Structure 1
Amino acid sequence: MRELLEAVAEGSLSPAEAEAELAGYVTDDAGRFDATRRQRRGIPEGILADGKPPEAVASLATTALETTGRALVTRLSDEQFRVLEAAVEDAEAGATIERWSTSALVRSSSYERPSLEATVAIVTAGTVDGPVADEAQVVCEDAGATVDRIDDVGVAALDRILDQTDRIRSADVVVVAAGREGALPTVVAGLVDAPVIAIPVSSGYGHGGDGEAALAGMLQSCTVLSVVNIDAGFVAGAQASLVARAVDRAARTAERE
């Protein structure tokens, strides 16, 4: 405790960093950020932008940047991204911000990205599935996994997915995003021996539209796979990252033995 107080007094540690050390979380005007979730859970807290004022998103992201060296933000609007970008520039010189569709990853200049000996294949049925798959991808890349992205291979033309079978089989875990009837994850799971995580996407219309038919089809899959909620790219990416961490640990243990 005394060391923390002395570090704050001399300016080598910010009050937010000290709060994170003591409580495990940091409180600002926008809410609480779980600064120790990576250590506790293996996956850092993501900041959901949907429904929040742009200033609140920026505040939480800069708090995350200050206390953990990185911030992962999902479901960003263009306005929220502009405010976030400006806040990051003001918060720390040299910090970088990358954007994937509606997701963003902020890193400080001193942040060292983890590196995992594991590959995640992220597969989409069509271009409409891209933003949801992007959300999964940013989580996996933030975790340090290698991502192999395979787009637009839906079952309307089976040759498209069969052409990519070797690539998908080389991955340690597979995430598949599909809307409409949601058949692609079942097809993929029947071709590979890696875990498959299916994301139903809210595309389609009429009866079973908005991802409902895709979700029902994936839950009824005749091949073994896991299913997350509709459009839950973050959750799928987090699950895939945990699998990738387990694969990495096994690989490193084998190398030592």
Structure 2
Amino acid sequence: MRELLESVANGETSVAEAEAMLSGYATNGAGRFDAARERRRGVPEAILADGKTPSEVAELATTAVETAGRAIVTRVDDDHAGAVQRRLDADHPDADVRVRTRANVLVAHAPTFEPPEVNATVGIVSAGTSDAIPAGEAAVIASEMGATVEEIHDVGVASLVRVLDEVDALRAADALVVAAGREGALPTVIAGLVDTPVIGLPVSNGYGHASDGEAALSGMLQSCTVLSTVNIDAGFVAGGQAGLIARAVGAARERDGERE
């Protein structure tokens, strides 16, 4: 405790870092950042930009970089991304800031951040181009958890030959996130072709009866083949679940390697 207090007094540790070390989270004017979530749960904390002002998002992102070495911001728009970039340029100019536009996700790494490495692959599959945002969100989260991410896009059931052309790649993955709108059939089809855990990600891009992802969600929940299903557009949850599976697979491979 004394060493931590002296470190704060000497300016070597920020107040936010000290608070995170003591309580597991850091508090600022925009809320509380759960800096210990990844150690506790295995899934990194993310900042949902939707519903927050750009300045609130920027403040939380800065706290995340200070306490966890990394900020992940989901559902960002140009105003959010610009505010985060300006704040980090001022407070942490060495931070590496990247925006995945099609996924609406911003990720910032401090120079000292060491990303995890997992010996496992997560496949991110989308039925069509319009599924790119939640699918991309899932890809970012699984990647930030250390998994190798392989993306397969535009293989919807309107032309099954597109899926069949990718069967070998689908079977090679250790976990699959499959995003689809409309009737949500693609995860069910793929789950009948592979022995890999499949996570269905319903997307709110359909129209007509039971639109806004409801038909896709219902179809995945009613799947005859075995799969898990997350909420509509819940790319973060799907990516996190796939990342946890990848971690378990990677850990098993390491144990097998030690026994050899």
TM-score calculated relative to the size of structure 2: 0.97
Q: Which deviates more, 105-114 or 214-223? A: 105-114
Structure 1: 5+ residue stretches without partners: none
Which among 182, 199, 207 is matched to residue 209 of structure 2?
207
**CA offsets per residue over residues 113-160 of structure 1, 9 Å max, x none?**
110000000000000000111100110111110000000000000000
One-letter identity of the residue aligned with 1:150: I
* Local SS of the residue matching 1:123: strand
- Structure 1 equivalent of residue 256 of structure 2: 254
Q: Distance in 2 between matches of 1:246 and 1:204?
A: 34
- Structure 1 equivalent of residue 148 of structure 2: 146
Corresponding position: 1:196 with 2:172:
no
**CA offsets per residue over residues 208-254 of structure 1, 9 Å max, x none?**
11101000000000000000000000000000011011011101111
- Structure 2 equivalent of residue 89 of structure 1: 89
Q: Distance in 1 between matches of 2:99 and 2:245?
A: 24
For 1:116-195, list aligned pairs within 5 A: 116-195=118-197
Q: Distance in 2 between matches of 1:109 and 1:225?
A: 39
RMSD (Å) for aligned C-alpha atoms: 0.7
One-letter identity of the residue aligned with 2:52: K
Q: Distance in 2 between matches of 1:16 and 1:213?
A: 44
- Structure 2 equivalent of residue 227 of structure 1: 229
**CA offsets per residue over residues 40-82 of structure 1, 9 Å max, x none?**
0001111000010000001001100001110111001111111
Q: Distance in 1 between matches of 2:142 and 2:98?
A: 14
Q: Distance in 2 between matches of 1:210 and 1:29?
A: 34
Q: What is the identity percentage for the equivalent residue pairs of Structure 1 and Structure 2? A: 58
Q: Distance in 1 between matches of 2:106 and 2:94?
A: 16
* Local SS of the residue matching 2:119: coil
**CA offsets per residue over residues 28-48 of structure 1, 9 Å max, x none?**
000000000011000111100
Structure 2: 5+ residue stretches without partners: none
Q: Distance in 2 between matches of 1:54 and 1:238?
A: 25
- Structure 1 equivalent of residue 244 of structure 2: 242
* Local SS of the residue matching 1:223: coil
Corresponding position: 1:54 with 2:54:
yes
